[in-house]
């Protein structure tokens, strides 16, 4: 167990603005204690905090210095095809936000949130807790399916069962305003906000979705889809029916309902779900959701008695592991997958955690639905893999379909474990060649870690986290970032550390078989539309595994890897590196945040096996198979697996 020592943490948090409105007409008191509120009411509360120049300078200085560590910064100056959409001059945008006039703190924070969201790198985003504390929910989630030979946009056929799972607090509101949302189930969508449905999907993919570099993957994330949330089957609303924030009060849709032939135009109201920390009025809304608290910034882990923090929680050392994961804020609690879509085929061992294993009716195909690489229990993930493969073998399974739908990533080393287990130990090193950015402060951190005798127990920058390309661990005093390795992108010199390997094998608790359990030609991956990208890219680049993607717009490609950075550091992680190295006084060090926000960033690059001068994130790798969703497969995992098996193994 870690020990909480006698340390005194002094927090200089942003105090509640003295200029706020008096309690009598406090717009936050009006919505306090409610799980669901009209978005206009939520917005009135969020906009009640005036713009504050001190807070702007604090946030922008923090972000500007965090971007120094973002490995892809210079790629953005001219993002290579097919990722051109994400091109941005990051420094120019920061300067623009620095000189814009904002009325409220909300307006400033949303400008920063939108700017980083539109970089489309799920590892590199600014999340202001204050203003991401509501998720707008439309009682009409959309799907993109092929019907009668043509792709089109519809309101989900299961929307009554699905939306009802939000409970009466949600649905009663629509009764109270006499809005019959149930009749919209299965409606054919002709226009959204006056635009063709796919044009509007493009607009949402471009402005709201974020998270994935590839536009096609973002188009998929606009629509509703199944997933595993926690350890349960679940259905994601999609970025159109369930966006973060409360910008919109309704959606104008021209449609033909399921049992009609008449076109009509309907204004469908949103209702916002509060997902923040509860409050009673503006003052407590601010102090609990907006002001910095003791998990906002990092700590000096080398100080006696300090404890580790990760993702806002105080955790033990064992949990401090390299992570590559996106944040999907659109994750309202309590939305399950309607029961009729839960698989009914036999479940196989190793299914109690984030992995769900099934035997298909052909008795030949095993399905492993890997919902996440970030389980609560690192070792259980590994034993689940072993149990599942053993059970599949015992059942006579000869081929394996791996479903990665909505897998947002997680521990870098669990992706490597699963890859190595399926590829067999004989493949050798199970990861990518990696680097981080050799900026002057990063070089000082590594030098200080070495000088202070720190190691991987306390920091990610210490040399003994990594190995040379021959898999010999870097000695504790080996400075791998000074001298740096030259690298140029878009005409800018952007030196990196020397190239290194991960050392994941050291954390594998389960033996990996020498030979692959199934021949590579008998493996297939479906629907890898997210940060499990490192895993699927390894399967593609090193085993030539068959990969399929579902959905996407007619006539447009969809990459199988949505977002393939490498290790992400939350702001508090980077700050802990800086504080533990004792370089926080350096003028290049980002200041502590005064507000409860997180500027996370992609801290390491993974270089492709196919071309070692290209990050996997920027290498276009299209799937071998591309399928449309249909009415039968769209939110029905079992039907989708049976369909995919029939197509991919024939
Ligand atoms: C702006 O924020 C700072 C830091 O929290 C605070 O000290 C100051 O009083 C605020 N200014 C106004 C006008 O509220
Ligand atoms: C914002 O502009 C001010 C001058 O108006 C400057 O002092 C400050 O450094 C700028 N901040 C950033 C992050 O560029
Ligand atoms: C998907 O639907 C489009 C029509 O929108 C069609 O052209 C295409 O062939 C379909 N794809 C597959 C794999 O069936
Ligand atoms: C359409 O009609 C069918 C058959 O009468 C009925 O089962 C279904 O609920 C109706 N759909 C809607 C959205 O009203
Ligand atoms: C999963 O579902 C079970 C049964 O419906 C429920 O009791 C449990 O709270 C759910 N767990 C999570 C993490 O949502
Ligand atoms: C959604 O929330 C649950 C519980 O808060 C968490 O376990 C799960 O990982 C989240 N899922 C996603 C996709 O963010
Ligand atoms: C929310 O507030 C109520 C009353 O102030 C309190 O009893 C409850 O524990 C709070 N819930 C959470 C999750 O903080
Ligand atoms: C800090 O505040 C955020 C929301 O602003 C909350 O999610 C988190 O739990 C808080 N952490 C602590 C340690 O209070
Ligand atoms: C698969 O196994 C089950 C149980 O042994 C059996 O009932 C079923 O007929 C088998 N299916 C096929 C396609 O052989
Ligand atoms: C790191 O150093 C500490 C103290 O010198 C030592 O106890 C620990 O075992 C070391 N950890 C590793 C992974 O070498
Ligand atoms: C592995 O590579 C490192 C760095 O290139 C080198 O110093 C070391 O001698 C090599 N070790 C072996 C066993 O080849
Ligand atoms: C590798 O990528 C670089 C940079 O895009 C390119 O110049 C080079 O031609 C590529 N090499 C191969 C073998 O494709």
Q: Tens digits of per-residue pLDDT, 433-444?
A: 999 999 999 999
Q: Give the pLDDT of residue 565.
A: 84
Are 116 and 73 within 8 A, CB to CB? no
Phi, psi of 204 (to 5 degrees): -65, -40
Q: Give the pLDDT of residue 546.
A: 87
CA–chain centroid gap for 387, Å, is: 28
Instruction: Flag whether pLDDT at 16 surpasses 80.
Output: no
Are 222 and 230 within 8 A, CB to CB? no
Torsion of CA 444, 447, 449, 451, to 10 degrees: -130
Q: Tens digits of per-residue pLDDT, 610-649?
A: 999 999 999 998 888 999 999 999 999 999 999 999 998 8
Q: Give the pLDDT of residue 542.
A: 82
Instruction: Flag whether pLDDT at 305 surpasses 70.
Output: no
Q: Give the pLDDT of residue 328.
A: 84
CA 564 to ligand 11 center in whole angstroms: 29
Pocket flag, ligand 10, residue 352 (CB < 6 Å) = no
Instruction: Flag whether pLDDT at 24 surpasses 90.
Output: no
Q: Give the pLDDT of residue 528.
A: 57
Q: Tens digits of per-residue pLDDT, 495-544?
A: 999 999 999 999 999 999 999 999 887 777 765 544 467 788 888 878 88
In 3D space, the residue among 79, 227, 118, 212 whose CA is nearest the CA of residue 562 turns out to be: 212
Are 53 and 97 within 8 A, CB to CB? no
CA 259 to ligand 4 center in whole angstroms: 6
Cα(490)–Cα(76) distance, rounded to whole angstroms? 9
Give the pocket of ligand 2 (CB within 6 Å).
Answer: 60-61, 64, 94-95, 98
Instruction: Flag whether pLDDT at 17 surpasses 80.
Output: no
Q: Give the pLDDT of residue 561.
A: 84
Question: What SS3 string covers 113-176?
Answer: HHHHHCCCCCCCCEEEHHHCCEEEECCCCEEEEEECCEEEEEECCCHHHHHHCCCHHHHHHHHH
Pocket flag, ligand 1, residue 13 (CB < 6 Å) = no
Q: Give the pLDDT of residue 603.
A: 97
The ligand 10 atom nearest the CA atom of 456:
13
CA 48 to ligand 1 center in whole angstroms: 14
Strand ranges inside 574-631, DSSP E: 597-599, 601-602, 604-607, 625-627
CA 99 to ligand 2 center in whole angstroms: 8
Q: What share of the chain is helix, strand, coil (3-state, %, to 5)?
A: 30, 20, 50
Cα(329)–Cα(313) distance, rounded to whole angstroms? 17
Q: Give the pLDDT of residue 6.
A: 33
Pocket flag, ligand 6, residue 496 (CB < 6 Å) = no
Q: Tens digits of per-residue pLDDT, 53-108?
A: 999 999 999 999 999 999 999 999 999 999 999 999 999 999 999 999 999 999 99
Angle at 140 between CA 137 and CA 144, to 5 degrees: 115
CA 169 to ligand 8 center in whole angstroms: 25
Phi, psi of 169 (to 5 degrees): -60, -35
CA 635 to ligand 6 center in whole angstroms: 18
Homologous superfamily assigned to 135-274: PDZ domain (2.30.42.10)
Q: Give the pLDDT of residue 598.
A: 98
Ligand with minimal distance to 593 CA: 1
Pocket flag, ligand 5, residue 230 (CB < 6 Å) = yes
What are the tokens at 91?
């420094």
Report the Cα–Cα distance between both ends of the chain, in Å, rounded: 52
Instruction: Flag whether pLDDT at 427 surpasses 90.
Output: yes
Pocket flag, ligand 1, residue 18 (CB < 6 Å) = yes
Are 156 and 162 within 8 A, CB to CB? yes
CA 258 to ligand 4 center in whole angstroms: 7
The ligand 1 atom nearest the CA atom of 13:
5
Angle at 209 between CA 70 and CA 187, to 5 degrees: 170
Ligand with minimal distance to 489 CA: 12
Q: Give the pLDDT of residue 316.
A: 38
Cα(445)–Cα(481) distance, rounded to whole angstroms? 10
Instruction: Flag whether pLDDT at 42 surpasses 80.
Output: yes
Instruction: Flag whether pLDDT at 249 surpasses 50.
Output: yes
Burial of 157 (0-12, 13-18, 19+ CB in 10 A): middle
The ligand 12 atom nearest the CA atom of 611:
1
CA 51 to ligand 7 center in whole angstroms: 29
CA 476 to ligand 2 center in whole angstroms: 39
CA 508 to ligand 10 center in whole angstroms: 19
Cα(406)–Cα(129) distance, rounded to whole angstroms? 23
Q: Give the pLDDT of residue 309.
A: 44
Q: Give the pLDDT of residue 315.
A: 39
Ligand with minimal distance to 476 CA: 10
Query: How sure is the predictor about 323, in pLDDT bands with cuts at 50, 70 and 90?
Result: confident
Q: Break the chain into its structural domains and give their ranges.
A: 13-134+276-319, 135-274, 353-427+524-565+616-648
- Average pLDDT over all residues of the chain: 91
Ligand with minimal distance to 629 CA: 3
In DSSP notation, 610-625 reads S-TTSBGGGS----SE
Query: How sure is the predictor about 448, in pLDDT bands with cuts at 50, 70 and 90?
Result: very high
Pairing of strands 625-627, 546-550: parallel
Ligand with minimal distance to 618 CA: 12
Q: Lay out the sheet containing 601-602: strands in order across.
A: 409-411, 323-325, 568-569, 601-602
Question: What SS3 string covers 386-416?
Answer: HHHHHHHHHCCCCEEEEECCCCCEEEHHHHH
Pocket flag, ligand 12, residue 650 (CB < 6 Å) = no
Of residues 92 and 562, which shows the higher confidence score?
Answer: 92
Cα(395)–Cα(361) distance, rounded to whole angstroms? 12
Ligand with minimal distance to 14 CA: 1
Q: Do domains 135-274 and 353-427+524-565+616-648 have the same CATH topology?
A: no
In 3D space, the residue among 521, 342, 508 whose CA is nearest the CA of residue 420 turns out to be: 508
Task: Give me the mean pLDDT over the 284-302 stretch.
Answer: 96
Q: Tens digits of per-residue pLDDT, 460-502?
A: 999 999 999 999 999 999 999 999 999 999 999 999 999 999 9
Are 402 and 368 within 8 A, CB to CB? yes
Instruction: Flag whether pLDDT at 216 surpasses 90.
Output: yes
Instruction: Flag whether pLDDT at 123 surpasses 50.
Output: yes
**Under CATH, which number does the domain 353-427+524-565+616-648 receive?**
3.90.226.10
């Amino acid at each position: 167990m870690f020990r909480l020592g006698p340390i005194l943490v002094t927090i200089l948090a942003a105090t509640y603005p003295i200029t706020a409105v008096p309690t009598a007409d406090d717009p936050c008191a009006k919505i306090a204690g409610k799980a669901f509120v009209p978005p206009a009411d939520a917005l009135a509360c969020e906009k009640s905090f005036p713009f504050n120049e001190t807070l702007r300078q604090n946030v922008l200085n923090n972000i500007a210095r965090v971007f120094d560590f973002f490995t892809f910064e210079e790629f953005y100056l001219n993002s290579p095809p097919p990722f051109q959409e994400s091109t941005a001059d990051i420094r120019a945008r920061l300067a623009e936000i620095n000189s814009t006039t904002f009325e409220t703190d909300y307006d400033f924070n949303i400008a920063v949130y939108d700017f980083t969201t539109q970089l489309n790198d799920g590892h590199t985003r600014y999340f202001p807790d204050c203003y991401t504390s509501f998720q707008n929910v439309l009682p009409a989630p959309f799907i993109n399916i092929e019907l009668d030979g043509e792709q089109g946009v519809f309101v989900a056929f299961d929307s009554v069962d699905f939306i009802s799972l939000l409970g009466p607090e949600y649905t009663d509101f629509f009764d109270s305003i006499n809005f019959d949302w149930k009749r919209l189930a299965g409606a054919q969508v002709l226009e959204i906000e006056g635009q063709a449905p796919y044009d509007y999907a493009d607009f949402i993919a471009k402005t709201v979705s974020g998270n994935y570099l590839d536009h096609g993957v973002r188009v998929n994330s606009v629509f509703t889809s199944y997933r595993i949330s926690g350890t349960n089957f679940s259905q994601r609303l999609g970025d159109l029916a369930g966006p973060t924030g409360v910008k919109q009060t309704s959606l104008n849709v021209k449609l033909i309902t399921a049992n009609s032939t008449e076109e009509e135009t309907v204004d469908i109201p949103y209702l916002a779900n509060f997902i923040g920390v509860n409050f009673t009025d503006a003052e407590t809304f601010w102090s609990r959701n907006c002001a910095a608290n003791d998990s906002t910034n990092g700590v000096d882990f080398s100080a006696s008695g300090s404890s580790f923090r990760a993702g806002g929680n105080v955790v033990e050392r064992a949990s401090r592991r390299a992570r590559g994961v996106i944040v999907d804020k659109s994750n309202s609690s309590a939305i399950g997958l309607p029961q009729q879509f839960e698989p009914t085929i036999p479940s196989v061992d190793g299914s109690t955690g984030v992995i769900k294993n099934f035997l298909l009716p052909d008795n030949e195909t095993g399905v492993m639905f890997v919902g996440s690489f970030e389980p609560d229990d690192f070792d259980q993930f590994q034993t689940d893999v072993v149990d599942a493969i053993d059970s599949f073998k015992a059942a006579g399974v000869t081929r394996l379909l791996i479903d990665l739908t909505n897998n947002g990533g997680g521990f870098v080393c669990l992706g490597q474990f699963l890859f190595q287990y399926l590829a067999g130990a004989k493949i050798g090193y199970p990861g990518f060649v990696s680097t981080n950015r050799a900026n002057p402060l990063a070089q000082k951190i590594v030098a200080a870690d070495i000088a202070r005798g720190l190691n991987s127990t306390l920091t990610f920058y210490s040399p003994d986290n990594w190995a040379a390309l021959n898999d010999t661990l870097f000695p504790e005093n080996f400075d791998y970032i000074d001298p740096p390795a030259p690298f140029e992108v878009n005409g800018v010199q952007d030196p990196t550390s020397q190239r290194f390997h991960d050392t994941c094998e050291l954390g594998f608790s389960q033996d990996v078989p020498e030979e692959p359990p199934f021949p590579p030609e008998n493996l297939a991956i479906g629907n890898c539309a997210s940060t499990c990208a490192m895993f699927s890219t390894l399967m593609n680049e090193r085993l030539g595994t068959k990969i399929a993607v579902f959905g996407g717009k007619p006539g447009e490609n969809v990459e199988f890897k949505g977002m393939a950075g490498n290790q992400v550091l939350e702001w508090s992680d980077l700050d802990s590196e800086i504080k533990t190295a004792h370089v926080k006084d350096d003028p290049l060090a980002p200041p502590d945040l005064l507000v409860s926000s997180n500027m996370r960033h992609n801290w390491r690059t993974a270089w492709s096996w196919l071309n070692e001068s290209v990050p996997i994130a920027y290498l276009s790798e299209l799937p071998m198979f591309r399928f449309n969703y249909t009415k039968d497969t769209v939110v029905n995992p079992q039907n989708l697996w049976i369909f995919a098996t029939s197509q991919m193994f024939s």
